[in-house]
Amino acid sequence: MTTPELTREHARALDEADPLAPLRAQFDIPEGLIYLDGNSLGVLPRATPARVQQVVAQEWGQGLIGSWNTAGWMTLPARVGDAIARLLGVGAGEVVATDSTSLNLYKVLDVALRLQRHDAPQRRVIVSERSNFPTDLYIAQSLAGQHGCSLRLVESPGQIEAALGPDSAVLLLTHVNYRTGRLHDMAALSAAAHAAGALTVWDLAHSAGAVPLQLQADGADFAVGCGYKYLNGGPGAPAFAWVRPELASHEAQPLAGWIGHARPFAFVPGYEAGRGITRYLSGTPPIIALAALECGVQTLLAAEPLGGMAALRRKSLALTRLFSEAVEQRCAGHGLALVSPRDDALRGSQVCLSRADGGYAIVQALIARGVIGDFRAGDAESQVPDILRFGVTPLYTRFVDVWDAVEHLRQVLEAGQWRDPRFQQQAAVT
């Protein structure tokens, strides 16, 4: 089926009819920039600088140590966790905002492995995907070593179910693949894991704030996610952790620190885990960073009266669909292949393209034109292609931004502009 020819007017009409369009005003986006990297670092909410200033000047500067009580600092990880819980479809008191995704993954995966070791010592395999985000695989390797377990990595999503069996302890997956944008069916895969007797750990780095979630209903046992991507919490923002309430009080987590203790200010020498998810806190919460994260999460909750995550998801799919179709119509013959799934049910909130060569330089040429995407290197040996990645964030990406981005891409390719030597130099962060 061919789509009718797309035009910029068509994109403008979509913006005009978009009930979520006013949400963009919540952000400070540099004039003229088309920012398609909110899946790597979300943009700055307008409310954040004043809130951070208030925390620094008033709460810290004037309130000093008293602010731990009077400014609600001590409860901030739980309060921000409660706000995030609304995006995950889980209840208040079930999420904490804390530490990094890597650290939270370490905590929950260790607990999952220990639960299995008690109940089913023959279960010694962590099942995951070779294409999972590297930190997830590194943390899993580290814990596999400590627990005498092994890691079984499948090459494609279709192989996951067959990789689960009587030896599986944990199914560890990232819900939306960071390279390809492919979205897993959480309910189906969790059910398959449970049928095989495995627990599930879901990394929501590219899902929270991007796709609607219902962790409890979809069979997640543990979940972690990232604060600086779709949650707009700022560079290095705290991450979050959720544990199914029935499991949350079963074990102490491995980084059992005083803030996760049942009575931190009793200063007793013996550890006694706090109730439920609060035990997943370890050390003193980073108050300034949590205040910024709270502002970021509020930008998503502001969509609730307009239909919330379901409405954001509809717009996200329309944006990525427009992007994909515009690339196919307007950039044909330039060697680009669409890597992100065409099927709405399988696509997260990003469009990924591959090209045999020049991917890095094409992204650099786009950045020079004010179109910010990013590049993820492939691996020729394992036939993983280089990826040009464009994240859409329905809170602030406009249809006309997508149109213009594709138009810049067309011009960069048509003029061979990316061959310019200045676009070949690799920076440390891609």
Ligand X SMILES: *Cc1c(COP(=O)(O)O)cnc(C)c1O
Contact in structure between 299 and 232 (CB atoms under 8 Å): yes
Question: Should residue 206 be labelled a site residue for ligand X when binding is judged by CB under 6 A?
Answer: yes
Q: Whole-angstrom Cα distance, residue 237 to residue 100?
A: 8
CA distances from 2 to 77, 114, 212, 245, 326 (A): 49, 53, 29, 48, 12
- Minimum Å distance from CB 166 to ligand X? 28
222 is catalytic: no
**Is 202 an interacting residue with respect to ligand X (CB under 6 A)?**
no
Minimum distance, C-beta of residue 35 to ligand X, in the bound complex (Å)? 17
Q: Cα separation of 267 and 413, whole Å?
A: 64
Residue span 254-293 as binding mask against ligand X, x where in contact by CB under 6 A, dash where not: ----------------------------------------
- Of 96-104, 283-291, 327-335, 377-385, the window that binds ligand X (rule: CB under 6 A) is 96-104
Question: Of the candidates 31, 25, 14, which has an alpha carbon nearest to the alpha carbon of residue 370?
Answer: 31
Active-site residue among 203, 374, 401, 404? 203
Residue of 24, 107, 114, 229 with catalytic role: 229
Considering only CA atoms, give the Rg of the chain: 22
Distance of closest approach, residue 326 Cβ to ligand X, in angstroms: 26
Give the Cα separation of 239 and 205 in Å (integer). Answer: 9
298 binds ligand X per the rule CB under 6 A: no
Among 18, 37, 203, 221, binds ligand X (CB under 6 A): 203
In the bound complex, what is the minimum distance in angstroms from residue 64's beta carbon to ligand X? 30
Does position 226 interact with ligand X (CB under 6 A)? The reply is: yes
- Residues facing 376 on adjacent strands: 387
Q: Is 230 a catalytic residue?
A: no
| CB of residue 101 to ligand X, shortest distance in Å | 4
Buried b (16+ CB within 10 A) or exposed e, 148-181: ebebbebeebeebbebbeebbbbbbbbbbbbbbb
82 binds ligand X (CB under 6 A): no
Which of 27, 35, 73, 133 lies at the binding interface for ligand X (CB under 6 A)?
133
**CA atoms of 41 and 173, how far apart (whole Å):** 21
Active-site residue 133, yes or no? yes
Task: Find the catalytic residue in 27, 228, 240, 423.
Answer: 228
Q: How far is the CB of 38 from ligand X (least distance, A)?
A: 12
Which lies closer to ligand X via its Cβ, residue 233 or residue 274? 233
With binding defined as CB under 6 A, does residue 37 bind ligand X?
no
Judged by CB under 6 A, the residue of 82, 94, 129, 136 near ligand X is: 136
With binding defined as CB under 6 A, does residue 205 bind ligand X? Answer: yes
Binds ligand X (CB under 6 A): choice among 54, 135, 150, 214: 135
Annotation says 228 is catalytic: yes
- Is-contact 62 95, C-beta < 8 A? no
Q: Rounded to whole angstroms, what are the CA distances from 64 to 55, 71, 72, 265? A: 10, 10, 12, 18
Choices 99-107, 321-329, 331-339, 413-421; region in contact with ligand X by CB under 6 A: 99-107
Q: Which amino acid is at 329?
A: Q
Rounded Cα distance between 428 and 430, Å, is 6
Per the annotation, the verdict on 240 as an active-site residue is: no
Q: Which stretch binds ligand X (CB under 6 A): 3-11, 132-140, 155-163, 308-316?
A: 132-140
For the bound state, the minimum distance from the C-beta of residue 218 to ligand X, rounded and expressed in Å, comes to 18
CA 160 to chain centre: 21
What whole-number distance in Å separates Cα of residue 171 and Cα of residue 251?
19
Question: Which listed range, 199-207, 310-318, 353-361, 363-371, lies at the site for ligand X (CB under 6 A)?
Answer: 199-207
| Gap between the Cα atoms of 314 and 221, Å rounded | 27
Alpha helices in 17-75 (DSSP H): 47-54, 67-70
Rounded to whole angstroms, the Cα distance separating 55 from 287 reads 8
Residues belonging to the chain: 430
Binding mask 151-190 for ligand X (x = CB under 6 A): -----------------------x---x------------
Q: Alpha helix locations (H) across 134-202?
A: 134-147, 160-163, 186-195
Quick one: which of 54, 75, 100, 411 contacts ligand X (CB under 6 A)? 100
Q: How far is the CB of 356 from ligand X (least distance, A)?
A: 25
Task: List the catalytic residues.
Answer: 133, 203, 228-229, 389
List residues near ligand X by CB under 6 A.
Answer: 100-102, 133, 135-136, 174, 178, 203, 205-206, 226, 239
